[in-house]
Amino acid sequence: MEKIKTRNRGIFYRNTIMLLMAIALVLPLVSGCKEDSTVAPRPRVEPKEETGKIALNNANIHVMGVQYVYRTPEKLSFKRFSDATLDMSNDVRRFSVTNALATTGISIQFKTKSSLINMTFTPESGMTDRGSFKVLKDGVDFKTIPFSGPVSQPIQIELNDLPTDKEHVYEIILPCYTNVSLTKLELDAESSLMAYTPAPKGGVYISFGDSITHGARQEGATYLTYPYLLAQKLDMRLYNLAVAGARISMPMAETAKDLPKADIITVLIGYNDFASANRTASQIERDYRSFLTEIRNNQPSAEIYCITLLYTTNTLNTTTGLVPDDVRNVIKDIVTEYQTTDSKLHLIEGNQIITSSAQLADQVHLNVSGASLLADGLYERITK
């Protein structure tokens, strides 16, 4: 019997020791006690941070050539005209909202030393024609990105193997016959956008007009349009308010009040009024007077250059009986009259610069060489 008791006590002691050992192992986990300092702690897994993805409301992304800019962390978009103007009736506005939403004349600038730049531009409501982006690096042509139309999917721009020896300024010139927003800007994981103020230009240039000035037949590329080329020659910041299909429009002229103080303004408008089925010379004269007066009221110190209709192979409006010279003469007469009290108002005869169908892509729109020729001719006359 004593042997049995002794054996039972041994079993009891052994089980007790095993239980205490188990409790000692479990207790730190249950009680939250510190781990033994001699035991290497388990490595902590940190969530991956997207250091290369830039919020699109970043103040170091600069939008040039447009007054109405809309910024959120996920999207950067732009409009050349206010919502109030775009909401007007067609009869008052006298240009198409679809065409007015195109990004002609607009560019984006930023500074970085990233080894890569990835951007996504997403189509928005408005024009969706084929076109082209151009990237400048430190003001020099770096890469051209053409795309087909109609645009229905996001457009990717990837710049790889970029120099990282110093910070560089990149400018992306947007297309002229498409409406896109920036929905992604990504750099390498070690880089960010640098604090940067765009270099000042020699002034501000505003262009008013219709499809010729907007950039029709210029391969959908802002950088081929005559206002862009002229702005480069003048070393001025461009605001292009032209809209394809526009007739002489008071809301277009009124937009000038929202823009920076201009040094140079060009006005090349009136072809669509000439080609209209219901516009007379007296109506065109009345509208042009109001248009020019509104621009001057909103930009009192600018040098304004009124350009008469360019050469066109459309020589007669068979409905109204108007010929191009009827509109040219209206513009000449108004400018000559206004010049008696306005020393900063000038007349340029457009058909003395664009003189033949060799410079046209169709009846009226410039081809690429014609746009370049017009920019050269305007520069000569503005700077003489």
Domain for residue 149, yes or no?
A: yes
Region 33-48: mean pLDDT is 38
d(CA 271, CA 153): 34
pLDDT of residue 87 exceeding 80: yes
Q: Are residues 291 and 378 in the same domain?
A: yes
Q: Are residues 223 and 302 in the same domain?
A: yes
Per-residue pLDDT tens for 113-130? 999 999 999 999 999 999
Q: Are residues 63 and 172 in the same domain?
A: yes
Domain for residue 42, yes or no?
A: no
31: enclosing H helix or E strand: helix 2-31
Q: Are residues 62 and 191 in the same domain?
A: yes
| CATH code of the domain covering residue 84 | 2.60.120.260
Domain for residue 253, yes or no?
A: yes
d(CA 115, CA 158): 11
pLDDT score recorded for residue 43: 41
Q: Are residues 232 and 116 in the same domain?
A: no
Q: Are residues 232 and 376 in the same domain?
A: yes
Q: φ and ψ at 351, to 5 degrees?
A: -80, 0
Region 301-329: mean pLDDT is 98
Q: Which amino acid, residue 167?
A: E
Angle, alpha carbons 209-212-215 (nearest 5°): 105
pLDDT score recorded for residue 205: 98
Percent of the chain with pLDDT over 90: 86
The count of domains in the chain is 2
Q: Are residues 204 and 173 in the same domain?
A: no
What mean pLDDT is reported for the chain? 90
Q: Are residues 222 and 126 in the same domain?
A: no
φ/ψ region of 120 (left if φ > 0, alpha if ψ in -120 to 50, else beta) reads beta
Question: Under a CB-based contact definition with an 8 Å cutoff, are residues 224 and 131 in contact?
Answer: no
**CA dist 348 to 51, 136, 239, 298, 343, Å?**
53, 32, 20, 21, 15
Domain for residue 16, yes or no?
A: no
The whole-model pTM stands at 0.86
Q: Are residues 207 and 101 in the same domain?
A: no
At which of 148, 182, 199 does a domain end? 199
Domain for residue 28, yes or no?
A: no
At which of 182, 199, 216 does a domain end? 199
pLDDT score recorded for residue 52: 85
Domain for residue 264, yes or no?
A: yes
Helix, strand, coil content of the chain in percent (nearest 5) = 35, 25, 40
| CATH code of the domain covering residue 268 | 3.40.50.1110
Region 327-355: mean pLDDT is 98
Q: Which domain holds residue 274?
A: 200-384
Q: Are residues 249 and 121 in the same domain?
A: no
Strand order in the sheet with 237-240: 237-240, 204-209, 264-268, 303-307, 345-348
Q: Are residues 72 and 174 in the same domain?
A: yes
Q: Are residues 82 and 184 in the same domain?
A: yes
Domain for residue 74, yes or no?
A: yes
Per-residue pLDDT tens for 135-165? 999 999 999 999 999 999 999 999 999 999 9
Query: Which tokens hold the place of 217?
Result: 């037949």
Region 261-285: mean pLDDT is 98
- 226-234 vs 368-383: helix axis angle to the nearest 10? 40
At which of 166, 199, 232 does a domain end? 199
Domain for residue 29, yes or no?
A: no
